[in-house]
Structure 1
Amino acid sequence: VHEEHVMYVQSLCDWLSDLVKDPVLFPHFQWYPVCKYHIVGGHKVRYVDEPWSRLDWWEDQHAIGEDGHIVPIFLYSDKTTVSSFNGQTFHPMIAQIGNLSALIRNSCGEHGGGTLIAYIPRIYDVEEEKLSSEYINYKCQLYHKVLLEVFAPIIDVSQVRRGVICGNHVLHMLFILIKFASGDYEEQVDMTLIHGINSLFPCPVCLVPRNALADITTCCPSRTVQQSWAVYKEGMEYRELGENAKAEEILKLYSLRANAFWHMKHTDPHHAVCFDVLHFFDDGLWGRHMWPELVRCIREPNAFLNYEGKSALDSYIALVTDTRSIQRILPCLHDMLSGSSGLYLLRTVRSLAALWMYTGLWVMNPIRLAKARDLRDDFSQQINNLSGSSLKDFNFPKMHYLAHLLDHLWRKCSSRHYNTIFGKGMHVLMKATFHQTNAKDFEAQVSALQVCSGYHTMEADHHPSSEHPNRHTMPHLEAPDRPIPIHAIVNDNLDDFNLRLCRFLVCCAIKNAASPIFPFEHLRVPYTSYDDWSPKVDLVYAHPSFHGKPRYDSVILIDEMTGEPSFTRLHLLFWCFGLDRIWDMAMISRTRIVHGAKEGEIGMTVVEESDEIEFIQTSSIKRAAFLSPTFEGVGAVGPRFFVNDLVDYDMILRLDLEYAYGT
């Protein structure tokens, strides 16, 4: 049977040449590996953030010599989300260049960002044949013939380098290598050409037996391109001798087929495939396994919710699609799941959520890596304890990939560089671009339109902006309200507002009760992220009618004695005059810690809010805090709240006293 497949390929060499010759982009290129350090406790600690700080780049640089420049390619292929136009079905292959920073490289449709390299023809599955070995082999052969066409322009360049006069008018000797291959498990199986989930060794990275996938703390021998080629060559020798059964036995033992990556030097597909947060966490461990188990527990007959409450919950359950939902629902689930088994399941989910947060950190160092290892091992232990009772069997490849997570975070750099979510973002742009074509031979038109769009975006980015950057480095009050006299301030827990404010402002700040203060609706709080030390901003509100409802946010202060964070509730933000100056003030109520995160059932600190009111200067506020009700009623002093440390990467580090400070 003869079948033709049409594919569209853009030359990797031509694409790369255009980028390195661009005088605007060239200053952003990084050509050599670097070691980065920061000071922790008086000692230098190495960290990795961008690809050129990773360990693999150093190894590749030593392999090619000092006179060569590595150009690492990020390759993304998604077989499950296809682009269907004009009666034809394809799925795109996206390429990115690793010499540019993540802000440029991960942009969608912009010059220097992800670029459409090829449309791979997709074979329609025939129900009667899709499980046959001949059909599966045919699909794999087609996939790697396409890869060979994609790799053809750079196969020689990976071995003997290519001289290119770059944007600085200097000759650079380039080695173009495929160093990152992102995709779902099925795509990684196709790229490495192993036999997949039902084979003896279903992992594309290592030789873990099929019945040991749930053990994520034990290291198995790694697959290498040299080993795979040697095994395949041995099998082919038996096949040439006519011993096909012996050849298949050898190849099946290692779950191998011929691979297009083997034509390239300094490129190993088993090292190139990456732990993908989107498919392995969001759409894997959480979305396909842990979240359904939680839903099952919530819907059990002995759950506390009545019928009406469960109906409302069902509508929300349909909205929970990714791991970010854990940031909001863990405190609520604590009240829904009663009994020791429910709380134990929540602790398991908490370990997974915290591990997900550490996986997404933009900067990784040995201290954070050790914390991530503790979280992974804790999750493994709790899964093992639950698997024999209430949970399903967790012996599947996406669970096993946690065994490679820490190695990828340190050897490859942070997961944001190889997360497939950036490639999926380009699918939306390609579908939108289709409407600008005449629906005939649209693949070439889409590629041309994307190139034009990238250049237009680049030109727009280099026009001077009319917006002024935020110059505030301290908390800054915004959205002023009309002035009101001090005696008009009414609070159930504070009758002597004027007296106590004067006492705070050294007794003479406010002369009389008729003096006005100037309320504000919100406060802009700049802070430096504990994750990557970049400037960030929080907006916190203290307003009686924020979109029709009262909103009084919580903030973090730092205890002057212990240096540890404390949590307060804002009741009023205002200016006042005293001592010949303006004071930025906040009226707050403090909280006390009932128990720390380690003592908590779901790993969150619980605080109790006091009804005592006091004043602080807004300059003492470090950033916003996120408190969720515990639903346990009022404590001895006031209501109790969970301190949610899963809201962002800075918060989980900032509130982890054992690991955060100085890292």
Structure 2
Amino acid sequence: MDFVPDSDHQHHDDAPPAPQLDDIKIEHRPHSRIPSTVHPFSEFSRRRPTEDTIPRSTSPWEPFRTRLDFEVAEITLAASMTKDQTNRLFELMRRAVSAQEDFTLQSHDEVRTLWKMASKRFTPFETSTISVPHQGEDHEYKMYSRCLWSWALDLMRDSRFAPHFTFDAQRLYKFNGARVMRFIDEPWTANAFWDAQSRLPQDAKPLAFILYADKAKLSSFRTAKGYPIIVRIANLPVEIRNGTGVGGGRVVGWLPIVKEDPKHSKKKSFVNFKNAVWHKSFLKLLEAVILHSKNRYWFECWDRVQRLLWPLILILSADYEEQCVMSLIRGLKGKFPCPVCLVPQDQQSVLSDVHPLHTSTESLNILNAARSTSTQKEKEQQLKVYSLRDVENCFWKVSHCDVYRALSFDHLHSNHAGMWGDHLWSDLQFWLEDLGREAAVKIDMNFDALPRWRNLKHFSHVVGIDFNDGSTHEDISKMIIFAVQSVLSRANSEVGYLLLCCIRCYIDLDIYAALEVHTEDTIAAGRDALSQFSTLMDLYIEKSHPETNKNWNFLKKHLLTHLFDDIIAKGVTRNYNTKPNEKMHGPLSAIYHQQTNFKDVAPQILRYDHWLLTSLSIRDEINDLDAYTDNLKATIDSEPDATESPEGVVNTAARVQLGARQGDFSFADIEQSHATDRAFFGFRIKLNQFLNDSLPNDAIPLPNETRIRFQACDQITEFRYLRVNYESMVNWHLQRDLLRCNPKFFGSPRYDCVIIKTEHQLFFARLIYMFRCKVGVTELSIALIHPYDVGIGVRCRQDLDLGLWRVRAKPRSSSEFVFVDSIIHGAALASDPEAVNDYFVIDTIDTDMFLRIKALQDSSGLRFRHQ
């Protein structure tokens, strides 16, 4: 590759410069005519500046007459106020409004009229009637949809989002000092986008859609359901695409739900009928996309550049049941139950085998061949061989779309609610129950003792409790090893312990699946984790059967074989995870309860959702206008005089920052208030010694060149909060840990653990006390810590089997001082109930910590043995 020049030529004048560590190379699809570029890592950014963008309007609240009118109407809409409540509020507003701004709204009916007018800025919903025959009778259903193509063009006209569109496929590489390494994150950095664009005319720019569909529970008792279709644009970055703003996921369709008929339910003809209704309805949403996938569409974008747009259905995001409908396979009872490949039903548990893939072309040919046979029975037999249904697939009509390649790994349902929640977790509870009630009590106590961490649920009871939420299952799986390792051992349950080793492999695999950026190395490591998991599971199944009476030949296990192929093809799993889409079901349910009369609810829900989109868009424009006005005013107010330097000073945030100031305390007060804590013995004397030793090493002069001797009456300032910024090992972006050192944080002590890096070593420690003190004119931020850096020696087999990184605490009296700047990361540590002063680093709290501990294990030459 030309990114790393040959050493024999790198000194020639015409040779490219030698790459520097972390340089980024961007390679574009050849016939895009965009040359490859190399960027220093510090200059590589996906974000395009928008701060200088001039607002689209100086009165973005129109058609509302005043800004106040809109802002009051905005509240009534967001609060789902009734007609009477709205009218009463308006009456009070007219009585209380100041003379500075007019409030002119009169009634609920008037504000509804204004919302209708304002909502014309977005592509509206339309109602279509479809007719599908069954049992000699035509059945009609209503399909609600907005033109998918027009909705996408709405975003491309919007100067807030249009600059963020990426139209050309890219391949990204990073130089790690030894070799060039490809990395993948967004859809346009993966292979499917690249391959699709290569099949298009040379000037064509893919406009790639991500589509999701699933039934949504509207009422609490599941008696009322909706069937939304949600769309996202794959050309937009994930922060926008998966966000909740105007550029994020949007409901664009509402499929009809066929009522079950007791006479025909579960019969083949009725199941085919329901699938035909789905595909004929979905076809209405795709009409414009189908048209433009066959014919070019020139469009003048917001920057006044004409682009030849070409629609792609790049990703279909759905759970398994919905994927069966999208692909028109026969599901779990079919001979080939996988929507992606032709794995035989009895071979789903074998993860090492590779099977032929479904293709749209082959399926269409099979259907046409079957329909040409003379009898209904022969047709059915031919289709049954391939597990296909006698229904035409709406996605077949979209050019450059293979529905089976668009179907994507569903991380939420396949792993968290499926492989873990339905299988590994239920089997683990079987073995724990076999150990008796005392074991369950210990595990619940261990869960409760685990440290609290941001974005991670804290559990006090898990054993014997049924959970049906995928996110809850995910959090339990992340913590399970640390809570169970002291209870379930090889000695008291050999097969149960083997399952625990399987679970550790599953957790590794699940975290690799969640990475926000994948490199060639992480994909290889993920595949290795899958192989280890497969091997261990085969051994566990052999040893546990028939004791657990469990059939491990199920589809969600097999779907893991497609995980890394999907990442290479379509980018990381958050590009197609169903989780962001399922979160949108909640607001739809709220609209159902608060804004409908519970009859013919679809048009009522969609109208209100459309108004909420309109309100959100107007609010964003008002915020942009306010920010622009404030910046303009600040520029005028800060215009430098002729005598002053025009150069501004950039105030960059510190990497670490103390917060929650408690006040000033003397050394005598501190030592007295912590008199029973051995960590504070000799606090002042130890601090004097630390500073006298450390400051000269850091080239900070001692005041008056004399040793520091703090007196008992001297004061320091205590802090109980620490913000640490660090570069993520996953996506190389700046991340932040929020750490506490507080004797009473929400009623309980919280002293977080940290990773400290000094000149000679990296080690773990617990925060004890944080403060600032002055040495001469220099103000220093310092932390008293409890080091966890006692040598472990030879690590035990269980730690290796379960991938545990053990650290050991020094006596508390061996507390040390460190400069706060030496703290590079927060950490969560779980105590080992079987070994006083021993702790395990919880590497599963997030993807970054997972990779950090993997690096520590690799540098120590340790591997998980799982023997």
Same fold by TM-score greater than 0.5 = yes
The code of the aligned residue for 1:415 comes to: T
Q: Which of 114, 122, 134 matches 2:257?
A: 122
Q: Which moved more, 1:297-306 or 1:201-210?
A: 297-306
1:154 aligns with 2:356: no
Secondary structure of 2:717's aligned partner: strand
Contact 2:729/2:851, CA 8 A, preserved across alignment: yes
Contact 2:335/2:345, CA 8 A, preserved across alignment: yes
Q: Which of 271, 290, 299 matches 2:405?
A: 271
The change in CA–CA distance for 1:557 and 1:309 in structure 2 (over 3 A counts) is closer
Work out the CA distance in 1 between the residues paired with 2:605 and 2:659.
Answer: 50
Q: Which of 594, 609, 614 matches 1:452?
A: 614
Contact 1:367/1:659, CA 8 A, preserved across alignment: no
The code of the aligned residue for 2:424 comes to: M
1:294 aligns with 2:491: no
Work out the CA distance in 1 between the residues paired with 2:187 and 2:285.
Answer: 23
Q: Which of 624, 627, 631 matches 2:826?
A: 624
- Number of the residue aligned with 1:346: 500
- Number of the residue aligned with 1:217: 352
Q: How far off is 1:318 after superposition?
A: 4.1
Secondary structure of 1:622's aligned partner: strand
The change in CA–CA distance for 1:306 and 1:217 in structure 2 (over 3 A counts) is closer
Show structure 2 runs of 5+ residues with no match: 1-136, 446-459, 635-649, 694-706, 860-867
Work out the CA distance in 2 between the residues paired with 1:482 and 1:342.
Answer: 53
- Number of the residue aligned with 2:530: 376
Show structure 1 runs of 5+ residues with no match: none
The change in CA–CA distance for 1:428 and 1:314 in structure 2 (over 3 A counts) is closer
Contact 1:437/1:446, CA 8 A, preserved across alignment: no
1:173-201 deviation line (CA, Å, top 9, x unaligned): 11112111111111001101111111111
Contact 1:361/1:649, CA 8 A, preserved across alignment: yes
Work out the CA distance in 2 between the residues paired with 1:131 and 1:147.
Answer: 22
RMSD: 2.8
Listed as ranges, the matches of 1:150-229 within 5 Å are 150-229=285-364
Work out the CA distance in 2 between the residues paired with 1:659 and 1:164.
Answer: 53
Aligned residue pairs, count:
651
Secondary structure of 1:189's aligned partner: helix
Q: Which of 564, 586, 593 matches 2:783?
A: 586
What is the aligned-residue identity percentage?
A: 29
The change in CA–CA distance for 1:501 and 1:550 in structure 2 (over 3 A counts) is same
Work out the CA distance in 2 between the residues paired with 1:524 and 1:115.
Answer: 35
Q: Which of 495, 501, 505 matches 2:681?
A: 495
1:244 aligns with 2:392: no
Q: How far off is 1:543 after superposition?
A: 2.4
Q: How far off is 1:310 after superposition?
A: 7.8
Q: Which moved more, 1:614-623 or 1:36-45?
A: 36-45
Q: How far off is 1:588 after superposition?
A: 1.3
Q: Which moved more, 1:311-320 or 1:456-465?
A: 311-320
- Number of the residue aligned with 2:116: none
The change in CA–CA distance for 1:221 and 1:284 in structure 2 (over 3 A counts) is same
The code of the aligned residue for 1:453 comes to: S
1:69 aligns with 2:205: yes
Work out the CA distance in 2 between the residues paired with 1:18 and 1:597.
Answer: 61
The change in CA–CA distance for 1:209 and 1:66 in structure 2 (over 3 A counts) is same
1:254-286 deviation line (CA, Å, top 9, x unaligned): 112331111111000000000011111121111
Secondary structure of 2:684's aligned partner: helix
- Number of the residue aligned with 1:542: 741
Work out the CA distance in 2 between the residues paired with 1:86 and 1:511.
Answer: 69
Work out the CA distance in 2 between the residues paired with 1:511 and 1:140.
Answer: 80
Work out the CA distance in 1 between the residues paired with 2:617 and 2:158.
Answer: 11
Q: How far off is 1:510 after superposition?
A: 3.5
TM-score, length basis structure 1: 0.92
Which of the pair has more CA radius of gyration?
A: 2
1:590-636 deviation line (CA, Å, top 9, x unaligned): 113536698434211111111111111110101111101111142xx
The code of the aligned residue for 1:259 comes to: N
Work out the CA distance in 2 between the residues paired with 1:605 and 1:310.
Answer: 22
Work out the CA distance in 2 between the residues paired with 1:23 and 1:306.
Answer: 57
Work out the CA distance in 1 between the residues paired with 2:716 and 2:407.
Answer: 61
Listed as ranges, the matches of 1:474-623 within 5 Å are 474-487=655-668, 488-489=670-671, 490=675, 491-506=677-692, 508-558=707-757, 560-561=759-760, 565-591=762-788, 592=790, 594=792, 599-611=799-811, 612-623=814-825
Q: Which moved more, 1:36-45 or 1:98-107?
A: 36-45
Work out the CA distance in 2 between the residues paired with 1:133 and 1:202.
Answer: 16
1:234 aligns with 2:369: yes
Work out the CA distance in 1 between the residues paired with 2:665 and 2:223.
Answer: 68
- Number of the residue aligned with 2:580: 422
Contact 1:477/1:522, CA 8 A, preserved across alignment: yes
Secondary structure of 1:381's aligned partner: helix
**Structure with greater contact order relative to length (CA < 8 Å, sep ≥ 6):** 1
Work out the CA distance in 2 between the residues paired with 1:449 and 1:416.
Answer: 28
